[in-house]
Amino acid sequence: MDFELDEQQRAFQQAARDFARDEMAPHAAGWDAQSFFPRDTLRHAGELGFCGLYAPVASGGLGLPRLDATIVLEELAAACPSTTAFLSIHNMAAWMVSTYAAEAIARRFGPALCSGVKLASYCLTEPGSGSDAASLRTTARRDGDAYVIDGNKAFISGAGATDVLVVMARTGGAGADGISAFLVEGDSPGIQYGRKEEKMGWNSQPTRAIAFDGVRVPAAHLLGEEGQGFRIAMQGLDGGRINIATCSVGAAQGALAAAQRYMHERHQFGRALADMQVLQFKLADMATELVSARQMVRLAAAKLDAKSPDAQVYCAMAKRLATDIGFSVCNEALQIHGGYGYIREYPLERYLRDARVHQILEGTNEIMRVIVARRMLQDQAPEAIR
């Protein structure tokens, strides 16, 4: 095993670090305070390939391994976890379109999505089906050369500001096998967007409900085959869980770096905080846990790249571990800052608010535990996960 980054990975890491420093960090607090969706910045990210990190090269993507994509997303999230989280969701949707759309549709939409000219939302969650995604009720009825979609989606990142919706809808009977996936243009007649949700964090990206009322979608916009949608959605979510875990690692890295700086700058009782052993120990624990989370995420990404049969369970473990540790590190970094950590002059409270939702979305951390436990008990052996 080689844990060192190769030359290409370091080049992508540096490009992402430079972009985060120059185009994200100076504006992240303002985007958060004003609930501003930085579309121009996202387009600039697309010019560097960051909107199609692991989408196929044939569709305009970089075709990177998931491992390399985590390196890029971590650097971006250290500057603005909220904007990077949207970018990670867009990457997931762009990969799904580029991979599963018919060739003509992939040629039409893939390059625009991978370049950031068009942005995408992922539409799975519904008001009545969150963790139980297979029970979704939105329907897609075949009508000639089109499908007619009716139903509602909830908590959709980017909704109302994106151009493409990847929608999961029921074309068959109950359960996962009755679900299909569709590419739906965001301005299609019959789509209504709800009010922009007021959220604890993730304020640089809008979140809305979407209502579909007789929305006609060309039959050619079906992704994969009928009944394949839930499997496509879950494949997307395996990568999405790695992405959101990486965003937590990046947020925690940003918070940890801020705490390191502050401990040298701040003096109490006649000495710098950096000279106080109790805070040295706290910092050491934060760094150790963060490294463990990063390595778990990279292991899961390597499993996904290798198409390992246990990749899904490793993605679940990585998502659970990294999002819990990421939030904890942000919280401890805020504590080190004392009262200053609680005010918006410093980035700690923003990191904390943005990182909290990572423990909920892309499958709650409780559901991640279910996935791991089922795999272990299914095999009836302690070697189920090694």
Q: Can you say how many angstroms the Cα of residue 49 is from the centroid of all Cα atoms in its chain?
A: 17
Contacts of 201 (CB under 8 A, 6+ apart): 32, 82, 350, 352, 353, 354, 355, 356, 357
Report whether 216 contacts 143 (CB < 8 A): yes
Phi, psi of 198 (to 5 degrees): -90, 120
Phi, psi of 217 (to 5 degrees): -125, 130
Report whether 189 contacts 215 (CB < 8 A): yes
| H-helix or E-strand spanning residue 22 | none
Catalytic residue among 289, 332, 362, 383: 362
Report whether 122 contacts 166 (CB < 8 A): yes
- Is 185 a residue of the active site? no
The rounded distance, in Å, linking the Cα atoms of 239 and 92 is 7
Catalytic residues: 362
